[in-house]
Amino acid sequence: MNKQEIIICHNLNENLAQAIDRCPHDKLFVLVDECTRQLCLPLIEHFTCMKEAITICIGAGDIHKNVETLVHVWTELGNNGATRHSLMVNLGGGMVTDLGGFAASTFKRGIKYINIPTTLLAMVDASVGGKTGINFNGLKNEIGVFSPAESVLIDTEFLKSLDKNNILSGYAEMLKHGLISTTEHWAELLKFDMNEIDYKALQALVAKSVQIKENIVEQDPFEKGIRKALNLGHTVGHAFESLALEMNRPVLHGYAVAWGIVCELYFSHLKVGFPKDKLRQTLQFIKEHYGCFVFDCKQYDRLYEFMTHDKKNNAGIINFTLMGEVGDIRINQAATKEEIMDMLDFYRESMGC
């Protein structure tokens, strides 16, 4: 898998023009959703490099990350004369970069694309690393391919248009990156003031977070080994997310990951000795900023069923990424149904649900 270029922008106009110049093309497309068309497209559409771009707009939100939307993008590309030499710019959050990357990677057997993530979650997670895809049959990211963008342009100016909930959603992935890297980085993330956001300081943290993910992806581009570290919090988190969708009260991805981290750090403590004080500190940060996902014991079996569909599983065994200590990653850690039920009990008790 080719390595994508990550650009921390200081001049988006220049950086985007350079990225486009590196991708010779016959036609240029820009994919937006209903939100980014209104809030973000006006920031770039006047750039000289974007003058000829044809806009494709899709519905906003994870509910539109599906086959129907994918077909719409393919159809718009075809109807507007796209060829295998065309180029697409994905301007949006993780849903846009995931679906747009998949659409580009499969149209005409693959056209080049550039990601401009506009949410914190997309900057530190979805747009980086080459994973693309859509939700299918009620399951998150069930269909997709590994196919990296040519360039990912990260400009934290976009974050000023985000509400606090979406900032926190992305920050959960940064917290995960802190847990799998160093105690120093984990500690500085817990100390960051989420109530009075310093965007310059946040940009430095974002750059560090992206570097952590890129280092892991470079070692293991197709998730055969150490890249599974990036799944910390996601086995339980995706189950929470799927249950929330099924109950028609969807939650932001990062919130589900944060709640999943609580469960999986507790299991890490029991199984591989993750320190109790660091579990407590991380749990307190999550409880204070993310609140609680409310469910009852009658829904444990449904959550377990969602976990059985996790892509890390092998021969019916549910696998977790656990932590022996901050930075001490333990992949492929199996859990029994009883252990998973215990995690859910701990979550409800410790989070006060």
- For the annotated catalytic residues, the residue numbers are 109, 131, 173, 213, 223, 227, 231, 234, 238, 253
The gap from C-alpha 262 to its chain's centroid, in whole angstroms, comes to 18
Closest CA to 241 of 145, 146, 135, 312: 135
Find the radius of gyration of the CA atoms of the chain.
Answer: 20
Distances (CA, A) of 204 to 155, 193, 209: 11, 14, 9
* Distance of alpha carbon 120 from alpha carbon 219, whole angstroms: 24
Q: Hey, what's the torsion of the CAs at 303, 308, 312, 314, to 10 degrees?
A: 150
- Cβ-based burial of 114 (10 A; exposed 0-12, middle 13-18, buried ≥19): buried
CB-side neighbour CA atoms (13 Å) of 109:
0
Identify the DSSP state of 26.
Answer: S
Positions of E strands within the chain: 5-8, 28-33, 54-58, 87-92, 112-117, 131-136, 139-146, 151-154, 318-325, 328-335
- Given a contact cutoff of 8 angstroms between Cβ atoms, the answer to whether 117 and 127 are in contact is yes
CB-side neighbour CA atoms (13 Å) of 331:
13
The gap from C-alpha 102 to its chain's centroid, in whole angstroms, comes to 15
Show the tokens assigned to 148.
Answer: 């990296």
* Distance of alpha carbon 234 from alpha carbon 240, whole angstroms: 9
- Cβ-based burial of 300 (10 A; exposed 0-12, middle 13-18, buried ≥19): middle
Around Cβ 184, how many Cβ atoms within 10 Å? 11
